[in-house]
Structure 1
Amino acid sequence: MMNNTFIFGVLLLVNGVFGVEADEVSVSVMEGDSVTLHTDVTEIPKDSNIIWKFNDEIIARMNEADGNPSTYDGPGAIFKDRLKLDKQTGSLTITNIRTEHIGRYSVDIKSTDAKLKTFQVTVHGVFSVDGVKQMSERNGDTVTLQTRITDITGDDVIEWTFGPQNTSVVKTDRENGRIIYNEHDVRFTNRLQLDIKTGNLKISNIKTEVAGVYHIKIIKSTYAVQKSFSVTVSAQSGAPSGICGAGVGLVVWAVTVFFAARSISNEGKGVSVNIK
């Protein structure tokens, strides 16, 4: 009895006196995405130590001495040139994530109110080049850019941008519960449809002028995901194939008429040609 009381007292001391908090967030992304793991801190207190770990190995830290963030390559250098630590919030961004980055991430913020937070990250494989999904469409087709995210809520913010200038084409207004389409870019007039449950973007009657790179950013309370899609549009549409089919049909009809005429003209001679 005394031993149980002692253990309970120690737990109260750790959790109450030192103010340590711990919770785990499940994060599911696609290969090639960029994901930001949030610390839920808007501004890191002064004299704080921040340590990010992947499983049990330190991959990023910020010391109270200089306040400058440092990142490391991790086991087998799998995080080389992929990590960014936000100096203000302590959030960690992993760019162009791969299946080898599956695992447990934890952040330990040591300050007056210590905070420990963990993330279990799952990465699903998909074809991409340098983190950009490649899509090839034909002129006039309807294409859907799929996020493959199923846990979007009404509190999440969704924004699609286009081109090197990241021009916003559609976004959600969380406060007013609206979807805002860019009415000033005539290239996308009456062409876009956003699915607020998945973040998928449907582009109708796609043309070469809207070919390019599309980016989506989904901001959740615990993490954020960024995806990129490179869409190429060939000038050839479904019409040429239809014309080609009509041309073949016309040839067949001409041949049929020709042989039928021969059959009629040779009927008196006992010559007959059957067309199957």
Structure 2
Amino acid sequence: MRNQTFLFGVLLLVNGMFGVDADEVSVSVMVGDSVTLHTDFTETPRESKIIWKFNNQIIAKMNGANGGNPSTYDGPGAVFKDRLKLDKQTGSLTITNIRSEHVGHYSVDIKSTDAKLKTFQVTVHGGVKTISAMKGDPVNLHTGVIEIRGYDLILWTTEGNVVAEVNKQTNLFGPRDEGDVRFGGRLHLHRETGDLTISDSKTTDSGDYHLHMSNSAHTLERTIRVIVKTQPQSGAASVICNAGVGLVVWAVFLVARFVDNEWCGKGVSVNIK
């Protein structure tokens, strides 16, 4: 018992001396998203060395002593080919166009004045990236989270314009379409999830909508394509149908007139004795 207590004390001492932090961050994304895993640096110390691993295999590294010079690797089975980006200033890792094979355990080992280990568990879910709706129906764009309290900033943008925002720093929440002629007050932001709803949709609402969600641990980027279609022109079909019926009636009328004229033209002779 005394030995176990001594060992526990040594571990606490080592953790305090080297600043090792192994708290795991859970990150849930959808297929096709881009996600950035943060190191917490705004600028990496010159003497630092950063190593990123996926399931204990090195996928990226950077040495601050040689001015950054970040390197990325394809990973096991080349699953990360052309998908990894390492920020030279912060050492944060971005995975673009994420797929189900990227599910797993990520860690960043930061060797600097204070040693630091940060870990992430990334899960990937399937999702619809294109939404089709009929004109007049509501269009729902989902963030995919149960609650938004874990995020510091959420932005919905389209055509380069921010149309809805949740910003903890400025205490801002809600749509930003009051002066937007395109939407005219038809945008609604869900308070719990950050989902964006477009009511009474119009064909002009069609386009790409971009979602940005970030906190101190990670940043998520998602694009959803919206297609709003017009209702079938049932009125035109009725006109055609009515026109067809009218033609049939007119043809019957002409035939009747023709028969009547033929009958009357022949005449009837009566002999009276």
**Aligned match of 1:172:** 166
Q: Is the 8 A contact 1:142 1:206 kept in 2?
A: yes
Question: Quick one: which amino acid aligns to residue 203 of structure 1?
Answer: I
Question: SS of the residue aligned with 2:22?
Answer: strand
- Report Cα offsets for 1:175-224 as digits up to 9, x if no partner: 23432504443101112111132121111222222211100111123212
- Select between 76-85 and 170-179 the one with higher mean Cα deviation: 170-179
Write the deviation string for residues 138-196 of structure 1: whole angstroms up to 9, x where unpaired. Answer: 22221111222113107531101113xx2211212322343250444310111211113
TM-score by length of 2: 0.80
Whether the 8 Å contact between 2:26 and 2:122 is mirrored in structure 1 is yes
Letter in 2 for 1:173: N
Q: CA RMSD in A?
A: 2.5
Contact residue 173 and residue 179 of structure 1 kept, 8 A: no
Comparing 97-106 and 218-227, the one that deviates more: 218-227
Structure 1 residue 232 corresponds to structure 2 residue 227: yes
The correspondence for 2:196, drawn from 167, 192, 201, is: 201
Give the partner amino acid of 2:198.
Answer: I
TM-score normalised by structure 1 residue count: 0.79
User: Superposition pairs for residues 119-138 of structure 1, below 5 Å?
Assistant: 119-127=120-128, 133-138=129-134
Aligned-pair CA distance for 1:86: 1.5
Tell me if structure 2 keeps the 8 A contact 1:173–1:180. Answer: no
Letter of the 1:137 counterpart: A
Q: Is the 8 Å Cα contact of residues 59 and 74 (structure 1) preserved in structure 2?
A: yes
> How far apart, in 1, do the equivalents of 2:126 and 2:53 lie?
23
Deviation at 1:42, TM superposition (A): 2.1
1:216-240 per-residue CA deviation (whole Å, 9 max, x = no partner) reads 1111232121111111222x226x3
Between the aligned residues of both structures, percent identity stands at 59
SS at match of 2:77: helix
Match status 1:190 vs 2:175 = no
Which SS does the other structure have where 1:171 is aligned?
Answer: strand
Contact 2:175 2:187 in 1 (8 A): no
Question: Is it true that 1:117 corresponds to 2:118 in the alignment?
Answer: yes
Of the three residues 203, 218, 222, the one matched with 2:217 is 222
Q: How big is the shift at 1:247?
A: 7.3
Instruction: Give the aligned residue type for 1:171.
Output: E
Gaps of 5+ in 2: 247-273
Give the aligned partner of residue 130 of structure 1: none
5+ residue gaps, structure 1, are 128-132, 255-276
Distance 1:147 1:105 in 2: 23
What number of residue pairs does the alignment pair up?
243
